A = this chain, B = another copy of it.
Amino acid sequence: MAQTLTDRKDVQFVLFDHLNIEELTKGKKFEDLNKKTFEMVISEARSLATKEMLPTSADADQEGCLFEGGDVKVPESFHRVYDQIKKGEWIAVADDLEVGGQGMPEVISLAVLEMFHASNSALAGFPMLGHGAAKLVEIFGTEQMKKLFLQKMYSGQWGGTMLLTEPNAGSDVGALETTATKNSDGTYSVQGNKIFISGGEHDLTENIIHPVLARIEGAPKGTAGISLFIVPKIWVNDDGSLGEANDVICTGIEEKIGLHGSPTCSLTLGGKGNCRGFLLGGENKGIRVMFHMMNEARLAVAIQALGLASSAYLYSVNYARERLQGKSLTGAKDSPQVPIIQHPDVRRMLLWMKAQVEGNRSMNFYTAFCMDKVAITENEEEKEYLEDLIGFLTPICKAYTSEKSCQVCGQAIQVHGGYGACRDYPVEQLLRDCKITTIYEGTTGIQAMDLLGRKIGMKQGKPFKSLIKEIGKVTAAARKIPDLKDLAGRLDETLTSLTMTTMQLAQAAATPKVLEAFAHACPLLEVFGDVILAWMLLWRASAASTKLDKILGDADDEKKKTKINKNKDAAYYHGQIQTARYFINSVLPGTIGKMNAISNIEAAPVKITDAGFGG
Contacts and interface: CB of A to CB of B under 8 A. Distances in A.
A432 B413 CA distance: 12
Given A9-B614, A613-B575, A418 B165 contact: yes
Copy tally for this chain in the complex stands at 2
Given A171-B325, A329-B515, A522-B348, A597 B607 contact: no
A439 interface: yes
Interface stretch (A252-260, A366-374, A378-386): A252-260
A357 to B, nearest CB: 9
Given A165-B418, A344-B518, A600-B589, A317 B439 contact: no
A63 interface: no
A438 interface: yes
A94 to B, nearest CB: 26
Interface string A577-615: 011011001111111111011101010111111111111
A170 B325 contact: yes
B445 A421 contact: no
A contact face: mostly helix, strand, loop, or mixed: helix
Interface residues of A, number: 119
Interface string A172-205: 1001000000000000000000011000000000
A594 B590 contact: yes
Contacts of A342: 610
A360 interface: no
Contact of A345 (B314, B351, B422, B448): B448
A40 interface: no
A575 B615 contact: no
B257 A418 contact: no
A602 B615 contact: no
Contacts of A565: 609, 611
Given A221-B334, A350-B613, A575-B608, A520 B255 contact: no
Interface in A138-196: 165, 168, 170-172, 175, 195-196
A510 interface: no
Contacts of A29: none
A436 interface: yes
Interface in A316-351: 317-318, 321, 324-327, 329-330, 333-334, 337, 341-351
A519 interface: yes
A229 to B, nearest CB: 22
Given A170-B325, A329-B514, A613-B354, A586 B593 contact: no
Contacts of A346: 445
A221 B336 CA distance: 11
A172 B608 contact: no
13 contacts: A3-B614, A257-B422, A257-B428, A329-B518, A344-B515, A574-B608, A574-B609, A575-B608, A575-B614, A581-B604, A590-B594, A592-B593, A592-B596
Closest 6 CB pairs between A and B?
A: A593-B593, A575-B612, A571-B611, A344-B519, A589-B597, A578-B608
